Amino acid sequence: LTDTIRITHSALQRDFGLTAPRIAIAGLNPHAGEGGAMGTEEITLIAPVLDTLKAEGLILAGPMSADTMFHPAARARYDAAICMYHDQALIPIKTLDFAGGVNVTLGLPFIRTSPDHGTAFDIAGQGIADANSLIQALKMARSMAQARKAAP
């Protein structure tokens, strides 16, 4: 978790030009564990990591309940969200913008983006695929490259 948060923080600065990124971290358990009533990982594992990184100056929120962190008002309070597992992140992303979602792999020495919905091999060659996610992935790669070029 520490590595993931550090990688995300650095990428938000380098690739997206944010000087003070705000990162939200989801809890592992439903309702972020309900103070230990529904699991203790938030208390014993996640919160100590966040406390350490906050002491270093990172702007972090969490552990947050994943079922309430993706509505518009909640999203306005952070620049990126770190989730604990695949569906916890991808269900809201695909619900918000299935055709325009972009997958970005952070922490690499090169820029890597791809359509978030996958390759769509099952409909290849039928003239029915929506290219918007690919187009958005290319635009994001260009934007990230420009941010890296402009960085000191």
**Can you tell me the distance from the alpha carbon of 131 to that of 85, in angstroms, rounded to the nearest whole number?**
27
The pLDDT, as a whole number, for residue 45 is: 96
Number of helices (H), then strands (E), belonging to the chain: the values are 6, 5
Place of tokens 């979602």: 101
- Please name which of 24, 12, 9 lies closest in space to residue 56, comparing C-alpha atoms: 9
Question: Domain segments of the chain: what residues?
Answer: 1-96, 98-152
- pLDDT, tens digit (0-9, with 9 covering 90-100), for 10-51: 999 999 999 999 999 999 999 998 999 999 999 999 999 999
CA dihedral for 11, 45, 90, 80, sign (positive or negative): negative
The pLDDT, as a whole number, for residue 152 is: 72
Tokens of 117: 């919905």
**Can you tell me the distance from the alpha carbon of 109 to that of 106, in angstroms, rounded to the nearest whole number?**
9
Q: Is 77 helix (H, G, I), strand (E, B) or coil?
A: coil
Tell whether the model's pLDDT for residue 151 goes beyond 90.
no
Provide the percentage of residues in the chain whose pLDDT is more than 70. 99
**Can you tell me the distance from the alpha carbon of 98 to that of 71, in angstroms, rounded to the nearest whole number?**
16
Tell whether the model's pLDDT for residue 117 goes beyond 80.
no
Place of tokens 């913008």: 97
- pLDDT, tens digit (0-9, with 9 covering 90-100), for 70-98: 999 999 999 999 999 989 998 998 888 88
